Chains A and B, each alone.
Chain A
């Protein structure tokens, strides 16, 4: 009974862990290739998507789990949306946007004719109310909107956002799911009432929600894009076990399987099911606690980095789905610096680096992994074996995911794993989150503190030219690369399995399903 419990908990926990960060997937880089559009889109049909996790909340500024975020993105609109390749934003509810001459404000012009699913028109007052809710300090993503000083609504179709300092990432911030637009004052309801019956202007509206079991969305009759969405309804079901999800796809009980197990992908690429590998911004790291000896010594950190065989990790742990990481930024974001070269895998170079450190004969340490997370367990074992060859004796310790999160936050670990995905298509969020001490994670929990990086990041936000910002971001990435606070392991793709009748299913690199264009050829 115990064995099966751990295995089942494993699939569930793995899925939970995968969903813990907003907007990401589970796999490595490698462009799209969903179902090629086979003819003209047909209207109608109910798309069933089986996912491991349940939706926690559909109020834009409440949840941080992917299941909730990717569902609510179908219900609401934002001023702007990410471009399909993730390298910028494009129009949605806002048709144009521009920064003032003094760079201290951005003006957005709204589209006419956008309506909520209850028929009410969407105006600038709704945008102002929504942004104010998302900026409240007790919400998880308010740090994105912290730069906003005030919001002006000179007329019903214009929004002027004044910022505390020049801020180039603002358009990308307006594409963040937490900045979704809800009716002003929740259309007369309380926040709690609205949470049970959310109303948005997106392609779908909430029809029914059985907590922990399934959510059904139906076509929004007032949706502003003519002729869309094609689907009549979408149902998200909660199916924790990856095998059961795979069986449901094969039997037609569900049309989309979110995150099938890597080991099942070749089997699923059979006659009536297909597997789509999509870009994701996910980057995985092997983190060392820079605050504790021996990882205070830069030669030790270099030695560890040189001892990690990224290619072997990808092959074994990810079944080949992934690309070895260069810098700490994902190729999906425009600030990716392909010129960055992490230390090459070489045991002899690693031994030489260790010899130059204060611990030439090696030392004992611990790698902490999340309980039930098969991928972390396998990766830890591979790294343990590599480190043993250079004289570092690592034991693998297990903590349950919540306890591990606390340990990482408090710096109570030696070595562990962490990952991040981006919520916005501007590199500002992750340049800070993964590289800076004060970026939100203490540089991926490593405790690496380089104050010069803070100055550089602040400078980049004030520059309007993307080229100029890129130069600063290249600098930041190179400095982190030289310091080796952690080893950036690989870039992963996002994997979905779906029935052959599912057409035009193209999730964005931020994870957004973008179901507005999806259709079923069997309808």
Chain B
């Protein structure tokens, strides 16, 4: 097991290296000047050139790349061009918000998807499956910012139950409360696909021999469902969930914008628009590591749930 883990962690290196190299060249080769963006349209070209020189942007691209690689490898993320403050400080504020949002979103997604799927596959009423399918279709068709804005309007403004966006700078319970609507929005984005995948597995497994055997032996429906059907169906579901959460790593941007959450998505977008190269590099590095770790956790969970995988 340890060897397997070690092997997977080592795989981190080429992935991260590839991601940061591609983002470095993409950013540096796109038009737009960070010094001009920072100094504004009224500053003289002379001031802009002075700043570019200060940042080393007038050196060759190759020199800049090697300099950047060297700094990254030694863990020096540097200072943000735009804020002139250490990037580590910025990340320390933003990473927990995004991670918490992703975690809560995943939990909510499971809590919503599993019962929906169970109802849809086992209910004796023919309309249940149709209702769930309808719900899926409607939710999948709605853009994230629409769902988020509607939630803010109805549960934030009209009901007054939740804040209309924003994230308190201290107080963990208040912070969790501020993340409930955003996490719910994120979860709704993941539910349709999860439900469909769970439905497919559950239907297949419900027809399998061991389930029939269990019923024949006298186990009640609920027990069979919980211990055998759900557990076995979740294998495929975990893979889907893992992919969706990994996509979420950079994809929380829209939710962050709508709910005014200081997360990594907004940081990356603002950094790209401001051509804040060091922050863009730091963000893509963080996302690369995050995605690889998420896939690793997904595979471990998969192995934990399905003993057959472990023997390979």
Residues of A near any B CB (own CB < 8 A): 1, 3-5, 7-9, 11-13, 16, 20-22, 50, 54, 56-57, 62, 64-65, 137-143, 192, 195-196, 208, 210-214, 237-241, 243-244, 247-248, 250-251, 253, 399-403, 405-407, 409, 420, 423, 433, 440-441
Q: Is the CB of A237 within 8 A of B166?
A: yes
Cβ-based interface call for B311 (8 A): no
Of B33, B42, B90, B260, which is within 8 A of A238 by CB? B260
Chain B residues closer than 8 Å to A139, beta-carbon distance: 47
- Chain B residues, Cβ within 8 Å of A22: 40, 42
Q: With the chains together, A400 CA to B36 CA distance in Å? A: 14
Query: Does B82 contact A440, Cβ atoms closer than 8 Å?
Result: no
- With A and B bound together, what is the CA distance between A214 and B89 in angstroms? 15
CB distance from B166 to the nearest CB of A (A): 6
Q: Does B278 contact A (CB under 8 A)?
A: no
Chain A CB within 8 A of B30 CB: yes
Q: Are A250 and B39 in contact (CB under 8 A)?
A: no
A13 to B41, CA, bound (A): 17
Closest residue of chain B to A240, judged by CB?
B257
* With contact pairs A241-B165, A403-B31, A405-B36 given, residues A211 and B41 touching in the complex (Cβ less than 8 Å): no
Q: Which of B42, B149, B152, B274 is most buried by chain A, counting CB atoms within 10 A of its CB?
A: B42
Q: Which residues of B contact A64 (CB under 8 A)?
A: 38-40, 42-43
B37 contacts chain A at the CB level, 8 A cutoff: yes
B200 at the interface (CB under 8 A from A): no
Query: Closest residue of chain A to B170, judged by CB?
Result: A210
> What is the total number of residues of chain B having a CB less than 8 Å from a CB of chain A?
57
Chain B residues near A239 (CB-CB < 8 A): 165-166, 260
B126 at interface by CB-CB < 8 Å: no
Could you show 28 A-B contacts with beta carbons less than 8 Å apart?
A: A3-B143, A4-B145, A4-B254, A8-B145, A11-B257, A13-B273, A16-B273, A21-B41, A56-B82, A64-B40, A64-B43, A137-B47, A139-B47, A140-B39, A208-B169, A211-B83, A211-B90, A212-B90, A212-B262, A212-B270, A214-B169, A239-B165, A243-B258, A247-B153, A248-B165, A253-B166, A405-B32, A406-B32
Closest partner residue, chain B, to A423 (CB atom): B42
Q: Is the CB of B262 within 8 A of A210?
A: yes
From residue A102, how far is it (CB to closest CB) to chain B in Å?
29
Cα separation A5 to B253 with both chains bound (whole Å) = 8
Are A143 and B44 in contact, with the CB atoms below 8 A?
Answer: yes
Q: Which stretch of B3-11, B68-76, B155-163, B214-222 is in the interface?
A: B155-163
Roughly how many angstroms separate A401 CA and B84 CA in the complex, as a whole number? 21
A250 x B169 contact (CB < 8 A): no
Say yes or no: B33 contacts A211, CB within 8 Å: no
Separation of A239 and B143 alpha carbons in the complex (Å): 19
Closest 6 A-B residue pairs measured CB to CB?
A: A64-B40, A402-B32, A4-B143, A239-B260, A403-B31, A140-B43
B42→A440 contact, CB < 8 A:
yes
Whether a CB of chain A sits under 8 angstroms from the CB of B51 is yes
CB of B259 within 8 A of chain A? yes
Interfacial chain A residues near B32, Cβ < 8 Å: 400, 402-403, 405-406
Q: Is the CB of B43 within 8 A of A402?
A: no
- Residues of chain A within 8 A (CB-CB) of B208 are none
Known: A4-B146, A253-B163. 16 other contacts (CB 8 A): A4-B144, A4-B254, A7-B143, A8-B145, A8-B253, A56-B83, A64-B42, A140-B47, A212-B90, A237-B166, A244-B149, A244-B164, A247-B156, A247-B164, A403-B31, A406-B31
User: Does the CB pair B260–A441 fall under 8 Å?
Assistant: no
Q: Within 8 Å CB of B274, what residues of A?
A: 402
Determine whether B28 belongs to the interface, using a CB cutoff of 8 Å to chain A.
no
Of A210, A213, A238, A241, the residue contacting B145 (CB under 8 A) is A241
- Decide yes or no whether B167 CB sits under 8 A from chain A: yes
| Nearest CB of chain A from residue B38's CB, rounded to whole Å | 7
Q: Is B50 an interface residue (CB 8 A)?
A: yes
* Chain B, range 50-107, C-beta contacts under 8 Å to A: 50-51, 54, 82-85, 89-90, 93-94
Dominant SS among interface residues on chain B: helix
Q: What residue in chain B is nearest A192 (Cβ atoms)?
A: B84
Closest to A253 in B: B164
Given known A-B contacts A8-B253, A56-B82, A140 and B40 have beta carbons under 8 A apart: yes
* Contact partners of B83 in chain A: CB under 8 A: 56-57, 211
Q: Identify which of A54, A138, A214, A423 gathers the most chain B CB atoms within 10 Å of its CB.
A: A138
Q: Which A residues lie within 8 Å of B164 (CB)?
A: 244, 247-248, 251, 253
Question: What is the minimal beta-carbon distance from B145 to any residue of chain A, in angstroms?
Answer: 5
Contact B145 A237 (CB under 8 A): no
**Alpha-carbon gap, A9 to B43, bound state (A):** 26
Q: How far is the CA of A65 from the CA of B41 in the complex (A)?
A: 10
A62 to B36, CA, bound (A): 13
Check A407 against B156 for contact (C-beta < 8 Å). Answer: no
Query: In the assembly, what is the distance between CA of A5 and CA of B146, in Å?
Result: 12
- Chain B, residue nearest A142 (CB): B47
- The chain A residue sitting closest to B36, CB to CB, is A405
Question: Whole-angstrom distance between the alpha carbons of A423 and B41 in the complex?
Answer: 12
Q: How far is the CB of B169 from chain A (nearest CB, A)?
A: 5
Interchain CA distance A457-B257 in the complex, whole Å:
45
Q: Which residue of B lies closest to A248 (CB)?
A: B164
Which A residues are in CB contact (< 8 Å) with B143?
3-4, 7
A212 to B268, CA, bound (A): 12
Within 8 A of A (CB), among B240-290: 251, 253-254, 257-260, 262, 266-267, 269-270, 273-275
A77 to chain B, nearest CB (A): 23
The residues of B that contact A251 with a CB separation of less than 8 Å are 156-157, 160, 164
CA distance A157 to B46 in the complex (A): 35
Quick one: given A240-B266, A251-B157, A441-B41, are A402 and B275 in contact (CB under 8 Å)?
A: yes
Q: Quick check: A244 and B31 within 8 Å, CB to CB?
A: no
Docked-complex contact B275 and A8, CB < 8 angstroms: no
Partner of B149, one of A57, A65, A240, A243: A243
Find B47's partner among A1, A4, A138 (CB 8 Å cutoff): A138
Q: Give the distance in Å from the alpha carbon of A6 to the alpha carbon of B273 in the complex.
A: 13
* Cα–Cα distance between A64 and B41 once the two chains are bound (Å): 9
Across the interface, which residues of B come within 8 angstroms of A238, CB to CB?
Answer: 260, 262
CB-CB under 8 A from A402, the residues of chain B are 31-33, 36-37, 273-275
- Check if B169 sits within 8 Å of A210, measured CB to CB: yes
Contact A195 B169 (CB under 8 A): no
Tell me the nearest residue of chain B to A250, going by C-beta: B157
Residues from chain A with a CB closer than 8 A to the CB of B157 are 247, 250-251
CA distance A358 to B266 in the complex (A): 49
Cβ–Cβ contact A20 & B40, under 8 A:
yes
The answer to whether B258 and A400 touch across the interface, beta carbons within 8 angstroms, is: no
Q: Using Cβ atoms and an 8 Å threshold, which residues of chain B touch A3? A: 143
| Chain A residue nearest to B166 in the complex (CB) | A237
Residue in A237, A253, A406 whose beta carbon sits within 8 Å of that of B36 in the complex: A406
Across the interface, B254 reaches (CB within 8 A) one of A8, A138, A399, namely: A8
A243 to B275, CA, bound (A): 27
CA distance A471 to B50 in the complex (A): 38
Specify which chain A residues have a CB less than 8 angstroms from the CB of B144 in the assembled complex.
1, 4
Whether B84 pairs with A213 at a CB distance below 8 angstroms is no
A195 to B258, CA, bound (A): 30
Shortest beta-carbon distance, B205 to chain A, in Å?
A: 31
Give the residue name and chain of the B residue nearest to A408 (CB). B41
A residues near B50, Cβ cutoff 8 Å: 137-138
A211 touches which one: B89, B163, B166 (CB < 8 A)?
B89
A244-B258, A247-B164 given; A9·B38 CB < 8 A: no
